[in-house]
Amino acid sequence: MKKIGLAALVLCALILMSDPLSASKNQSISPEAAVQKLIEGNNRYAIGKPERPHQNQDRRNEVAQGQSPFAIIVTCSDSRVPPEILFDQGLGDLFIIRTAGNVIDDSALGSIEYAAEHLGVQLILVLGHERCGAVDATVKGGEAPGHIKELVKYIEPAVKKSREKKGGDLLENSIHENVLMTVEKIIESRPILNELYEKKKIKAVGAYYDLDSGTVQFLEEKKEKEEKKEDIVIDK
């Protein structure tokens, strides 16, 4: 049974790799341009004026022949965080990896590698969100049942690091730290992703989704704002 499963997986990979439409369309889409598209889409969603692009029959027919997503989104399985909706995108626009707590294991890394290397996607966005249940369970501690303990294992380093910080809400800090640590894990993953990163062929960034406002904030931007506040206090 294992041999049959492996053969089927290899055959599937070969079929996907033979797709002539996959990577060609993405070569001109820079990480910066991809971020801008995500920001614009989220702005439309947050103010209640989504355009819902690429959701008609023509688009379905087009992507049936091949895919060329412009961004890889690593996010939580939480039902309140659907990337295509909150970024106002459609069929074939986003390559999405979802796990509770947006944690990544070898299977998730392999999925990211496929999209980055074969499909030519240059932007990887790790998206955490407000009131994340997986992170909250890790913060509260205790024995996690079943396979949930595997999720906790991945999130615990972020919670531990957040406990060492002064100020702020422990849960929110842990959610942010979990995102940033996941970004680091992606760009340090060898051999494929780290090599692409070193050659500046991919960029990985972290972001945070506010369930109440519907807005996405890039954590780099948040960090820069906090540093500016510190500078102002020091100047005084």
Q: Are 205 and 35 in contact (CB under 8 A)?
A: yes
Which residues does 29 contact at the CB level (< 8 Å), separation at least 6?
Answer: 70, 122
Query: Which pLDDT score, from 0 to 100, does residue 223 have?
Result: 52
- Give me the mean pLDDT over the 70-96 stretch: 98
| pTM, two decimal places | 0.84
Q: What is the CATH number of domain 21-235?
A: 3.40.1050.10
Measured between alpha carbons, how far is residue 117 from residues 70, 89, 113, 227 in Å?
13, 22, 6, 35
Per-residue pLDDT of 162-192, as tens digits, reads: 999 888 999 999 999 999 999 999 999 999 9
Local confidence band at 145 (pLDDT 50, 70, 90 cut-offs): very high
Lowest mean pLDDT among 4-18, 127-141, 184-198: 4-18
Is residue 228 pLDDT above 70, yes or no? Answer: no
CA distance 29 to 113: 18
Residue ranges per structural domain of the chain: 21-235
Query: Which pLDDT score, from 0 to 100, does residue 166 have?
Result: 82
Query: Which pLDDT score, from 0 to 100, does residue 126 have?
Result: 98
Query: Which pLDDT score, from 0 to 100, does residue 226 have?
Result: 52
Query: Which pLDDT score, from 0 to 100, does residue 92 have?
Result: 97
